[in-house]
Structure 1
């Protein structure tokens, strides 16, 4: 089974190909672990703080930069119309590279772990995971760590 259906776009020009491949591999693992259909796609775009602030303002009403945003394409749809041979589009994840760099430093781990953490966090939001209360947060964050640990990206 090959899930590698993750479109990665680095609008910052700061990320090396090996970093992008790692994020794609981690998301591939997440898709498998969550039982996502093989013919599914999602996109991840890496941006600067100004770009993510604009999206955060326009879509969430919060005029400030954030670390990650998720936009589910099938949100609220019970029965999606599937066209044979066409991929199931899960949605879009947008990650602020400067915010990831800052958070990696604050949390005492490297940028690889932080970017992968944010990608998995955004992916799980696409699937309906949330962290609105303590039980939801525990479920979501333990699943994130389980996925990241498969790639040796353990929490410090």
Structure 2
């Protein structure tokens, strides 16, 4: 998996970008995603998180992680309307799965609030966002149980425990 990482803040703690990339690669392998998949992660401050949250979710406050799942539009490939393409071909033509925006301010606040390391918090946010861009959600108790269970499974298997 190719992961583009950007720190818009210039304040990301040492090693976090490296850890985040390794953890996301591990999560992709764990979930058996095709190697050709691509995603982007951008570390932002609360002001930028607030702007993005308002623009994409119509929520007027900063948040810890914003996950923008990318779903390719079949129409952009200019095929005959009656032609149905196999999912595998569509995925190969467009490997981008989405992008995450992680607030470094929220990560600091939450690590302190939950009493765990900053590394654990960034790991949690990365995997949580990663699962969202791979179709997981937590709107219902059943979805939440499934997503949070898989999230903890990945973090534990990677060795990033509480």
In the superposition, the TM-score normalised over structure 1's length comes to 0.88
Instruction: Report SS of the residue matched to 1:12.
Output: coil
The gaps in structure 1 that reach 5 residues or longer are none
**1:121 corresponds to which of 105, 128, 137:** 128
2:107 to 96, 100, 104: 100
Partner of 2:15: 18
How far apart are residue 151 of structure 1 and its match? 2.6
User: Which secondary structure state, in structure 2, belongs to the residue aligned with residue 82 of structure 1?
Assistant: helix
CA distance in 2, matches of 1:17, 1:61: 33
| Residue 75 (structure 1) shift | 6.2
1:152 is matched with which residue: 133, 137, 159? 159
1:54 aligns with 2:61: no
Deviations 1:29-86 (A, max 9, x none): 1101111110111100000000010011011111100010111112676843634xxx
- Sort the Cα spacing of 1:65 and 1:75 in 2 relative to 1 into closer, same or farther, 3 A: farther
Question: Which among 98, 102, 106 is matched to residue 91 of structure 1?
Answer: 98
Deviation digits for residues 83-103 of structure 1 (CA, Å, limit 9, x no counterpart) = 4xxx71111000000001000
Greater helix fraction, Structure 1 or Structure 2: 2
**Larger radius of gyration, structure 1 or 2?**
2
TM-score (norm 2): 0.85
Superposition deviation, residue 18 in structure 1: 1.9
Rounded to whole Å, the distance in 2 between the matches of 1:57 and 1:143 is 28
Which residue of 30, 35, 41 maps to 1:33? 30
Could you tell me how far apart the structure 1 residues matched to 2:45 and 2:96 are? 25
User: Per-residue displacement from partner, 1:80-132 (whole Å, max 9, x unpaired)?
Assistant: 3634xxx7111100000000100000000011110111011001000110101
What's the counterpart of residue 65 of structure 2? 68
2:160 and 2:91 map into 1 onto residues whose CA distance is: 37
> How many aligned residue pairs are there?
149
Change (3 A) 1:45 1:130: same
